[in-house]
Chain A
Amino acid sequence: MVDIGILLQILFWGIYAGCIYILLATGLNLIFGVMKIVNFAHGEFLMIGAYITATIFLISGINPYVIILLAMLALIGIGAVVERLCFRPILGSGKLNEIFLSIELIYIFQNGAAMVWGDEWQSVKSPYEGIAVPFGSLNLPLDYIIIMVVTAAILAALFIFLQKTRIGREMRATSQNRKGAMLVGINVERMDVLSFGIGCALAAAAGTLWVVSGQVFNPYMGSIPAVKAFAIIILGGLGSIPGAIIGGLLYGIAENAAAYFLGGVWKDAISFIILIVVLVFRPTGLFGESGE
């Protein structure tokens, strides 16, 4: 007999994990949607976001949920520099160049972070740790509820930005048809910088939430989440923001359900099993359109 209380608890952990995946995958998809580039170093932006948050928190003691804004701003800047110096020169020169460039960036960021912060595992403690909110038979830690609310707020802000602002509409237009966007006078290179910066900022937000949830981090932490983010955007549909959100949530819940029903060693495998099954029946992903 399966205990409903335990299932609800597992669902809660799944949604929490999904929040990290959603932010990471949405950023990756935003970049892919506009620039059509494959950036395997996206997980490294999560790692840098985590370190920036931890460093500011340990130095200043500022609430880490406030630092998330600083981390996102910092990563917008770092992302813009990376786009301008690394990706723009090779844009359109072939996928192989993008792949090799992003792999090189992984090593540069990982070793750079190891030089700056050391490669020891680290963790920080949230000011809200130990506070739980009763919910039926469950005691839900406050931090995870805040993480879910913050994720929803960031996604809502992104939605408003993309739907209601001129720059957001220009970004969507560039994503839908780059040549058409150029023909109507949209500065697509500006959209590239913006989308790359915002994508990195979303990864930084994921890194901050990773840190405040008390998970350990080191310079090599970004690789596995990045691989999962790629699987999520393929599952949800390349370039589709709703696809990244649904895919991220699905992965978070599926991983934790697999850990419960099948054992922890199936946690990663289940994500890729789902990916294969979806691609067999819907090769463009859940929300993808043919031709992308």
Chain B
Amino acid sequence: MRYSVLFIVIALIAAACIAGCTQQQAQQQSQATGGEIKIGVIASLTGPASNVGKNMWQSAQVAGDEINAQGGVQLGASGTKVPVRLIVGDDESTQQGGQKAATKLITDDKVDILVGGYSSAVTSAYQQTIAEYKVPYIVTGASSPVITHRTDIDTSYVFHHCPTTDSYGEYTITFIDQVVRPAVNKKLGASDDRPFRLAIIYQDTAYGKGVQTAVQNTIAKNNLNIVLVSEQGYRMGESDFRTPLTVIKAQNPDAVYLAAFPNEGAPIITQARRDIGLDTIFLNVENNDNAQFYKDLGQYGEGAIIESRFSPYTAPEGELATAQENFKNSYFAKWGMYPDMMGASTYEGIYIAAEAIGKAGTTDKASVRQALVDLNMPEVIEAMKGGKISFTKDYRESQFDLWMEQLAYDQSAGECRPHIVWPDNLKVTGFTLPSWYKPGSA
């Protein structure tokens, strides 16, 4: 009996000691993080890219609210939960603005990790600062592969959570080759050896040139029967595209591929169809899957194609459809509008940051970087290769599953709405050439 009592007393003392140690460890962890985890979000709140930038920042806040509603980020397997605090840096859609925003977030706000970045040109401009201070940075918008491939500075703390221009350039050209080209040949009654006449209009920045290069490389690498009949560059933020479109029309293209931001893409298509009479298929990069883009396009968007991975107005069927719907509903409830694709990847970026800090059990930047290198978390709202978010070992790029949408005019909405037409396992309808479509001719 006496031994039993003694055993229970010893056990209680041991349990108290363990609990005390755990509590002390949790307190130390909490103190080490300053009682909160500071996540800096770099977004274009002003300037030409403000539409997308605001969407990114607002999406980040939805993620932050959700994480804090769950008590915050759990540091380590048995650690305490610490809330996250998001701090925004406005890059003003300019390189100078980006430099200011990154410097302020790192040196004044002393953020633990960075998420965001939209324009590749702007993001590249402040990467030196990221390298100097060694702050983990999850880039969720800037799509030029240069962001993590460049060798002039240390990019080891930069992680790319969005498809690169290489990915969607290759994906879109494959779609053209396998779907659009046969459809055009069928309409013309032409044989399969008729070269497909493709024109490109691109923003003259790292992003636009990246898409242009990816298109050229994909055609050359796969020896595709696609010929580039016109390649027209323009300055970022341009609003008058009538002259380059006149040049493109003179080359009689079968389709036009746009490497543009939404505030440029909508005017390009509108001016082409309304003012130039260029009645062709316009293929758009994924960042144009944006509610404002649909609004600005009006009926002129009919028949256009968007390569996508998240849309405000559609989703592939499956488990992720519910997750996407929940995100859209949460976003709409908070902001009264729908999120766009860059918002979706930024929303995920916050979850990735939280996961990495949680796994590292600390906000020590080198440890968080290592946690990002080792990351293998379930996909959140966007379809990832293998259903997991992880970064490639060479250039720290996550791998997305993409799809192609075709726009159809919706009378009740007064705008176009997207329908997934490719690949076969995701499509809800087939690609069609609009009745007004005019194929090119040599």
Interface residues, chain A, with chain B CB atoms under 8 Å away: 3, 6, 9-10, 13-14, 16-17, 114, 119-123, 125, 129-130, 132, 139, 141, 144, 214-218, 220-221, 224, 256, 259-260, 263-265, 267-268
Contacts and interface: CB of A to CB of B under 8 A. Distances in A.
A263 B233 contact: yes
B238 A214 contact: no
B234 A214 contact: no
Nearest to B247: A260
Contacts of A125: 298
Contacts of A216: 239, 263, 266-267, 296
26 contacts: A17-B240, A119-B54, A120-B292, A121-B262, A121-B263, A121-B296, A132-B277, A141-B274, A144-B275, A214-B274, A214-B275, A215-B240, A216-B239, A216-B266, A216-B267, A220-B48, A220-B50, A224-B237, A259-B243, A259-B244, A260-B243, A263-B233, A264-B233, A264-B235, A267-B234, A267-B238
A123 B298 CA distance: 10
Contacts of B242: 13, 16, 256
Nearest to A260: B243
Interface in B242-297: 242-244, 246-247, 250, 262-263, 266-267, 270-271, 274-275, 277, 292, 296
B69 to A, nearest CB: 28
B199 to A, nearest CB: 13
B245 to A, nearest CB: 9
A236 B352 CA distance: 57
Tell me the dominant secondary structure on chain A's binding face. Answer: mixed
Given A120-B51, A121-B292, A264-B238, A10 B263 contact: no
A6 to B, nearest CB: 5
Given A123-B266, A139-B277, A10 B234 contact: no
Contact of B50 (A14, A218, A263): A218
B232 interface: yes
B267 A214 contact: yes
A6 B239 contact: no
Nearest to A139: B277
A224 to B, nearest CB: 7
A216 B48 CA distance: 11
B46 interface: yes
B232 A263 contact: yes
A264 B243 contact: yes
A187 to B, nearest CB: 41
Contact of B246 (A13, A17, A122, A132): A13
B51 A121 contact: yes
B303 to A, nearest CB: 16
Nearest to A3: B250
Given A119-B50, A214-B274, A6 B247 contact: yes
A123 B233 contact: no
Given A263-B233, A264-B233, A220 B47 contact: yes
Contacts of B263: 121, 216, 218
Nearest to B264: A216
B242 to A, nearest CB: 4
Nearest to A144: B275
B379 interface: no
Given A123-B266, A215-B239, A216-B267, A264 B204 contact: yes
A129 B276 CA distance: 12
A44 to B, nearest CB: 15
A246 B267 CA distance: 28
A59 to B, nearest CB: 17
A157 to B, nearest CB: 26
Interface string B48-89: 101100100000000000000000000000000000000000
